[in-house]
Structure 1
Amino acid sequence: MSGEVPITIPKLKVFLTGGTGYIGGAILAALLRSPDFEVTTLVRSESAVETLTSPVTNPKFFTGSTPKCVLGSLSDTDLLRKLASESDIVVNCASANDLPAAEALIGGLGESGEGRKKIFVHTSGTSAFATYNGGDEAGRPFDDTENLVEILKEWDEREPYGHRTVALKVVELGKENRVSTYTIVPPMIYGQTPAIIPRLSVQLPPLIRTAIESKKAYFIGSGNAVWSNVHITDLTNLYELIIRCALSGVAKSGYDGIYFASNGEKSWKDVAYGVKEAVEALEGWDGGKVGLESWTVEDAAGIEGVNGVRDAKLAFGSNVITVPTKALELGWKPVFGGEAVIDSMKKDAVVLWKQFKGEK
């Protein structure tokens, strides 16, 4: 009928931590392209604010809204609680290990007003389920339809580990605060992030950088330990899917709300072969053939980006194979796999090679 006033549906308010990081940056870019969300993100510098909000420097991302940027850090728990209390959805990509931050975010969501959706999406990692056996195969595959909370409890009682401790606390806090919690557990992530601020992934670049510097691609022990993997674009799509399924009430939450995200697997020796191939393919590489060599955990602990022996064991020599049954049942359709990991390493190698030569 003419004269009718059009109905305007308000956007859902999303608070995102880690918006300048590898995972969070990709999710931020995806949320900004949606007409359904009004996004606030936490940043640590004025320069990051400028980059994230300037259509001049990043025009391809500004087809929709721009994020509201708030200066702060995860240690600003009062600020986190306030921002969460003003939101429908909180997506935590800044840290899998920061318990005070998780407490503030979920507590704030619990205090949000009537009509708020109160959805908390937490980012963990499959190192919480990793088994180390000197670089050899060990353990078994984990399916996200299993009782993962009980597995995490048992393991964390035996050996406390931040990823496990916080993931368990997220479930508990959600119940206490009447917040629906969803924990996404990525394996090794690869691929160039479709983010406003480009970042490299976490596990592969240190190995590639070391190969450029030493002309050797390393693996721990026999190199037969295996990790699952996922492309950053597929992972980002899963976050979007979980959020939308949470809004519609389809996705399981809380105790049953732990989701794996994987689409392929490689042994660490296969990864080393990929590193070797990526470095040898570099334009201008004059270092000859890159050797393959087994190294100790202590050696691996000494490279840039690795925080001690435990980190090296988990990041480069452990086993963790995950099966994302619940994600697939929700309709997740990952498209990257197979040799996409090698292609990604080649692209990462180009970036790291330029850094090594002092180029921008």
Structure 2
Amino acid sequence: MNRRLFIQQASLFTITLASAKILSACSSTNADNSNSASNSAIKEINFGVLSTESQANQKPIWEPFAAAMSKEVGIPIKPFYVTQYAAVIEAMRFGKVQAAWLGGKSYIEAAKVAEAEAFAQVVSKDGTRGYYSHLIANKDNPITAEAKAVGGDQYVIKNAANLTFAFNEPNSTSGFLVPSYYIFTKNNVDPKTAFKRLVFAGNHEACALAVANKQVDVATVSNEALNRLEKTNPTARQKIEIIWQSPLIPSDPIVYRQDLPADIKQKLQNFFYNYKDAKIIEPFGISGFVKAEDKTWHTIRELEIAKKIQETQAKDNLSEKEKQQKIAELNQQLKEIQLN
């Protein structure tokens, strides 16, 4: 993805928890510490799995992957399934989860409060390091043809008062942050008050099924979730039409807590950088993983800041001086990110 394009798009509209040291007894700052010393302290690793769909659908693809990871690292790796994005962040914050597969927005929050550090990034089947957010509607819904004709984002903005709409949940990148910014913030629309009914479905699968079952008119979902739905519920997928696609979003980060022992970090890196068993990773809809660092997800930080700038400009309860002061602070944050 062209990072600068993301920055420019965001900037056009600007004119501008302390973590409990549960693992401290087994932390190591020396990469040469013996494996036996570290492994005697850490008996297993809980690996956070975000609820992009139901746990029943996740287990068959996650258990073989976790088994392969366990073999490489030398200690049991147990998938830690959660029902909300915030749950894995809180679990990592308090040391109940030591590593995780996060989304961009949830990683940024985890880096702030849970000592999360990104070390790898997902690579899509086509070799790209990104994915898309979509607006979807039911093919049989009378709105769908017109929405596709005029552009789903513009149709939703113009007809929001007559529509029911579902976001994923507030910590979702593709299910909330990206569509929220590109569709609503840029058009000075508050989705909380714009729709006939607004719901947070909780995960991508729930959003897709809400549309397929005609429970809502329009919902957000990622292209990856739609690809999974083709396999887990092809009947539902056939009922869904894409009416809008976002710019490319940086693909998901793989993270661990900063206080993991150095040898455990190295073994996790070795696994993710080199694992190529297509039979195991194909169900994830990816081709593998590559080395990554924190700044890979700066574009998500930039989007959040640009969104805050737009929201500040629209606030009626702030004086012009207060608005300018807050916007200046946000622009400084944006500048600092862009310099890193």
Q: TM-score, normalised by structure 1?
A: 0.29
Larger relative contact order (CA 8 Å, sep ≥ 6): 2
Structure having the larger proportion of residues in helix: 2
Q: TM-score, normalised by structure 2?
A: 0.31
